[in-house]
Amino acid sequence: MIVLLLSLQLNVLKMDSLLSNIKIAVPDKIYIKDPESSDLGKRIIEHSIILIDEIGFDSFTFKKLGVRIGSNESSIYRYFESKHKLLLYLTSRYWAWVEYQLVFATHNVPDDNTKLTKAIEVITRTIKEDVTFTHINEVVLNRIVINEYSKSYLTKEVDSENKEGYFVLYKRLIRRLSEMITKVNKDYQFPSSLASTIVEGALHQHFLKSHFISITDCNDKVTPTKFFINLTQNVLNIKTNGSK
């Protein structure tokens, strides 16, 4: 596992203490050659995100990406053995980034309930701006996750790929949320299912508000965040106090 530094605007000290806690990493078997290790690799990541967003993962090919970045199909294959692995890589980085944001937003928050609420906010919000100034555009990557993430695990190879560790980031984020739920209400019987429902459900509600508005209440004003915070508060029997 290679530790992957996310360049957020933090001072070094804070970053260090956070990183020692969470170790953001992408399982190294996902790629053949680390795309962060070269200029071409970074261009592959940057433009694959843009291309997949534009034409959809199904129509996306390494050949088209090659044309886009002025490079050769065969060169891209030296980094990723298939477009499926590329998707796995991109979405892993997304979940790693969300986990980082979650740890950052919730550390040093003393009240467990406020902490949970902040966690749900981070997980369910619409990403509006490209926070980091790297080759990865989080706004676009978020759209890809909404539109394509399910395809990365709805395969006949899930079980073997799960064993290889390709979904650790996703699962760890959900487990983190699950633990926060349990801290707020020790007697609640389904913390993991609630957590996985929030993470998956948020993606789904974001999708619905763009394509199936008749089966969601979410829109630009009523956000998935509001829906899931309200839901969680009710499910865990939290008395809403006046404070936001």
Q: What does the binding site for DNA look like in residue numbers (CB under 7 A)?
A: 33, 38-41, 59, 61-64, 70-75, 77-78, 81-84
Near its own copies by CB under 8 A, which window of 16-24, 26-34, 130-138, 212-220? 212-220
Question: In this structure, what DSSP letter does residue 26 have?
Answer: E
Give the angle 55-48-146 at the CA atoms, nearest 5°.
65
Which of positions 129-148 make contact with its own copies (CB under 8 A)?
147-148
The residues near 94 (Cβ < 8 Å, ≥ 6 apart) are: 138, 141, 142, 144, 145
Near its own copies by CB under 8 A, which window of 19-27, 107-115, 127-135, 159-167? 159-167
CB of 178 to its own copies, least distance (A): 7
Question: In this structure, what DSSP letter does residue 187 have?
Answer: T
Among 2, 38, 212, 240, binds its own copies (CB under 8 A): 212
- 160 touches its own copies (CB under 8 A): no
Closer residue to its own copies, CB minimum distance, 111 or 217: 217
DSSP 97-136: HHHHHHHHHHTT---HHHHHHHHHHHHHSPP-S--S-SS-
- 174 touches its own copies (CB under 8 A): yes
Question: In this structure, what DSSP letter does residue 3 have?
Answer: E
- 187 touches its own copies (CB under 8 A): no
- 12 touches its own copies (CB under 8 A): no
Tokens standing for 230?
């309200």
